[in-house]
Amino acid sequence: MKRRALLVSNSTLYGGGYLEHCQTQIQEFFGKEVKRVLFVPYALHDRDAYTKTARDKFKTLGYEVDSVHEAADPVQAVKKAEGIFIGGGNTFRLLKALYDNKLVTEIRKRVFDDGMPYMGSSAGTNVGTISINTTNDMPIVYPPTFSAIGLVPFNINPHYLDSDPNSRHMGETREQRITQFHEELNTPIVLGLREGCMLLVEGKTATLLGTTRARLFTPGKPPVEYDPGSDLSFLLDTERASVL
């Protein structure tokens, strides 16, 4: 299997600039073979400004950026891409635009068949999983389905937050919301990626990277914590993951 994906929880970590906390991992992921990265800015309204932000940052890392929204034919842009980066923003807006432009199937094909490296951040990470059902965003638009690109056989909750015992907020915690998700039938496991955390997928292996721990939620079982550097390859085994 040629699949390669870098699924990042967040684009900006407190105290640093855009993609600063994961820039080393980005360079290691795309390597020297990739010269140009295709950026997908669909998650934000101002696609030109968003593209400039990504283009400026990637240039400092040694990569040129083309934006899919500037392409005359988005499908052809994906077909020719050396690597792809889908940025964060509103997950519903992003997924709808991916379907509107007929890119979901093409991206999946390029990653699995050709080994095109896929990097996602926040909403871009959400759409790389089975579905966007565990996003934190408001449904400001309605995509044709919540099913996403499906590069991994589970869901992710980016920006995962632990409950604060000193908070007076009385709404559901993130853990409670994920538990509610698992109360429905046939829901997949959910990997909660705290900010500063990312998952590197290469073929049939998955490794937790970054500076923070991840929290794994399995229907009917207590959550499990994993430290950076943990081997999470078992999550890629669909049959095993479904019975954890």
Assess whether 113 carries a catalytic annotation.
Answer: no
C-alpha of 62 from chain center? 22
Count of beta carbons in the 10 Å neighbourhood of residue 36: 15
Closest CA relative to residue 107, chosen from 89, 122, 90, 120: 120
CB of 18 closer than 8 Å to CB of 12: yes
Assess whether 159 carries a catalytic annotation.
Answer: yes
Active-site hit among 9, 21, 131, 137:
137
Active-site hit among 9, 11, 67, 122:
122
3-state class of 217 per DSSP? Answer: strand
Say which DSSP state 46 is in: -
Q: Where are the beta strands (DSSP E) in 2-124?
A: 4-8, 36-40, 64-67, 84-86, 118-121
Assess whether 137 carries a catalytic annotation.
Answer: yes
CB of 191 closer than 8 Å to CB of 156: yes
Active-site hit among 147, 159, 182, 230:
159
- Rounded (5°) CA angle 30-147-183: 115
Active site residues: 122, 137, 159
